[in-house]
Amino acid sequence: MKLITKEEEKEHYDYTIRQGLQKGLIGLGAGLGLSFIGHKYSRNFRSLTLPLKAFLVSSFTTAVFIVAAEKASIDFERKKYGEYDERSVRNDNYVTISREDAVKIWLNKHKWPIVVGTWGLAMVGSMASLYRNKYLTTSQKLVQARMYAQGVTIIVVLAAAAFSVNTSKEPHGFQEWKNMVNEEERRMNKVSSSSS
């Protein structure tokens, strides 16, 4: 087992922030571009207040930054330390994971695209539902749609958190840890037996 040093921790942090900022700037450019297009071609978008337009652009930028930083952090760890996939190990010493655990692993691995996709679908669905209401202005419809989408997103985030918590007596991470230690011991034994 290898403990990370302060230098490795700083390298990881710097890489994560750098990648998040780069993608966040791209997200800012895309958000401003979409805002410009909306302002030029949509009468409804032009009727929005400046703070609401700024909120839309900053929300888009922040979401891109968070997702990119999370992905960069995971990619850095995989590049530096490799990826451990329990299903790829075929050995009698290893415990196979259940379908429920496989679903939890998949959901945990893809949580941000699921959350962002759910938010987008909820925004579109609630806007479509509110579009028929002739008593609300476009700004009011957008604010209402945003509130509905936030509510749905909070529920999805809570569900993702619930899926990431293992309800079994022995946590899944502990079993992964035991499997990784067994695998490393096997490799070390191979190396020591081949060098003798």
Give the residue, 75 or 88, on which the prediction is more confident: 75
Number of domains in the chain: 2
- Say whether both 63 and 98 belong to one domain: no
What does the pLDDT read at residue 136? Answer: 87
The torsion angle over the Cα atoms of residues 34, 40, 45 and 50, rounded to 10 degrees, is 80
- Say whether both 43 and 124 belong to one domain: no
- Say whether both 77 and 92 belong to one domain: no
- Say whether both 68 and 96 belong to one domain: no
The rounded percent of the chain whose pLDDT value lies above 90 is 20
For 105-159, the DSSP string reads HHHHHTHHHHHHHHHHHHHHHHHHHHHT-TTS-HHHHHHHHHHHHHHHHHHHHHH
- Say whether both 142 and 65 belong to one domain: no
Domain boundary residue, one of 32, 64, 83: 83
- Say whether both 78 and 131 belong to one domain: no
d(CA 129, CA 139): 15
Lowest mean pLDDT among 18-22, 85-89, 154-158, 189-193: 85-89
For the segment 125-148, the average pLDDT, to the nearest whole number, is 87
Give the residue, 169 or 5, on which the prediction is more confident: 5
- Say whether both 49 and 135 belong to one domain: no
- Say whether both 68 and 97 belong to one domain: no
165: pLDDT strictly greater than 70? no
Domain boundary residue, one of 59, 83, 107: 83
What does the pLDDT read at residue 21? Answer: 93
Where in the sequence is the domain holding 146, given as residue range(s)? 86-196
Domain boundary residue, one of 43, 58, 83: 83
Q: Would you put residue 82 in left (φ > 0), alpha (ψ -120 to 50) or beta? A: left
For the segment 33-47, the average pLDDT, to the nearest whole number, is 89
- Say whether both 124 and 159 belong to one domain: yes
Lowest mean pLDDT among 39-43, 90-94, 129-133, 142-146: 90-94
Average pLDDT over the chain reads 80
- Say whether both 99 and 155 belong to one domain: yes
- Say whether both 131 and 159 belong to one domain: yes
Say what the pTM is: 0.51
- Say whether both 4 and 32 belong to one domain: yes
